[in-house]
A = this chain, B = another copy of it.
């Protein structure tokens, strides 16, 4: 792997493992809570986190709005969140190491494969932060180190 592939592998890897650590702390009675009124529930943010690495790269390779609606419609029960994130992470790592061709997204954004891999990385950290804020708002005491 090149330097930048190693850098993404390391720092997205940290994002994946710490996201899984946060998800494992969530108590069942909190899944449906909305610590920020009007925004996604705890469960909805957790599901989004588990699929977004794969979703963003599917979008990057030209998936249509309809195809993405079908992708997002596949249910991810709470007990499968950790495995679903592992699956997305493998999908991401495969494309990180082998490369892929991009197409303009269905809403008109164009970027190269490296740009999309980067976008998915910052997207993961964005929602990991949201989940961390949610758990703080719900009073969780957390011993998860978010950065190395």
Chain A residues within CB distance 8 Å of chain B: 2-4, 6-8, 10-11, 15, 36, 38-39, 109, 111-115, 117-119, 121-130, 133, 136-137, 146-148
Q: Closest CB of chain B to A122's CB: distance in Å? A: 4
Q: Hey, which chain B residues are within 8 Å of A118, CB to CB? A: 4, 7-8, 10-11, 121
Q: Are B129 and A36 in contact (CB under 8 A)?
A: no
- 30 chain-A/chain-B pairs, Cβ below 8 angstroms: A3-B4, A3-B112, A3-B113, A3-B114, A4-B118, A6-B112, A6-B115, A7-B115, A7-B117, A8-B118, A10-B115, A11-B119, A11-B122, A36-B137, A38-B136, A109-B148, A111-B148, A118-B121, A119-B147, A119-B148, A121-B121, A122-B122, A122-B124, A125-B126, A125-B129, A126-B129, A126-B147, A129-B129, A129-B130, A129-B133
Q: Are B129 and A127 in contact (CB under 8 A)?
A: yes
- Interface SS of chain A: helix, strand, loop or mixed? helix
Among the listed B2, B115, B127, B147, which residue makes an inter-chain contact with A11, where contact means beta carbons less than 8 Å apart?
Answer: B115
The docked-state distance in angstroms from the alpha carbon of A4 to that of B6 is 12
